[in-house]
Amino acid sequence: MFDQAPRHWYAVCRSDEVRRAPVACVLLGEPLVLFRDLENRIGAVLDRCPHRNAPLSQGRVEGGRLVCPYHGWEFDRAGQCQAVPGLCDDGQRRYGSVHSYPSAEQDGLVWVYSDEIALGSPPQIDLLQKPGYVSLMHDFTVEADLVDAVENFLDATHTHFVHAGLVRTQGKRRPVRAIVRHGTDCVEAEYLEESQSGLIARLFGVGITRSIGRFALPSTAQLEYWAGERLKLLITLYFTPQSPSAQRVFAVAAANPSPFPFWLVRLPFAWMLKRVVRQDQRILALQSANLRRFGGPRYASTELDILRPHILRLLDKSRPLPDDMTEKQVTLML
């Protein structure tokens, strides 16, 4: 998976999860272990001791070094072996090292780069520092391949059924114009009229007139809700492929709920967000189980599936994108 996926920064866990004990995580099929050195910097190395292949994540951290649970070999942040207990000389450095990965912390998340040498920095949500905006984080796992998972989050037409009442309602549809714009590393759909009639819109949507759904490489999805020129709510989902059929998802919501104070809407909003997530986890798990029963997907699409072809195109490295990209307008009943 490492070879096929875009070389990029991926979120692998929340910053506050990495404390004294090492933390296991999986990125693109590779089991990793995270720990902090004495300067509190994150180390990210392969979760396998070079000696007898025990999982280092089951060991402990001592003096900023990761200690194997089996024979106590010690590794620094760069993955270099610094001690082999029992040896009389100090020849420990001969005994190899464990593969390490570039890592960083940003916006409350730990990021790992999917290649030896990192290019650029992890993405940053500017709104999180802006006055008036407050944030909420929720992380979870979905059982689906990356495209099915991202499509589920950005798709409007499932909300009437999977999130009936919470997001939209089947009986209250009206025509909504959507403009699809395709860039070189992202695609977005702008909904020119807002149609959400569910509980979430009633809580947050005072004055919301339009919204945007966006996918950006390598695996980020965003929803923006605008009241005129003010961005009232931005939900960003970082998808981290763990295996071809499981994604870890880090959801960060930046909100400006005025005229309501954030402390008033925080609890009901967090509750609704988690409920929507559980509903999507359930339908994606049902879809995945059915794909396994039938031995793979056989999908038919309509003009309502406005983003999927573009997401597939962006992830397909073998087909360069054309220069003459044009906007496209669609009308949906939402």
Q: Which residues bind a copy of itself (CB under 8 A)?
A: 31, 47-48, 50-55, 58, 67-72, 84-88, 95-96, 148, 156-158, 160-162, 170, 173, 175, 283, 286-287, 289-291, 293-294, 297-304, 331-334
Q: How far apart (Å, rounded) are the C-alpha atoms in residues 67 and 79?
A: 11
Q: Which amino acid is at 28?
A: L
Dihedral in degrees, nearest 10, Cα atoms 235, 152, 146, 242: 70
The torsion angles phi and psi of 332, rounded to 5 degrees, stand at -120, 155
HEC string for the chain: CCCCCCCCEEEEEEHHHCCCCCEEEEECCEEEEEEECCCCCEEEEECCCCCCCCCHHHCEEECCEEECCCCCCEECCCCEEEECCCCCCCHHHHHCECCEECEEEECCEEEEECCCCCCCCCCCCHHHHCCCCEEEEEEEEECCCHHHHHHHHHCCCCHHHHCECCCECHHHCCEEEEEEEECCCEEEEEECCCCCCCHHHHHHCCCCCEEEEEEECCCEEEEEEEECCEEEEEEEEEEEEEECCEEEEEEEEEECCCCCCHHHHHHHHHHHHHHHHHHHHHHHHHHHHHHHHHCCCCCCCCCCCCCHHHHHHHHCCCCCCCCCCCCEEEEEEC
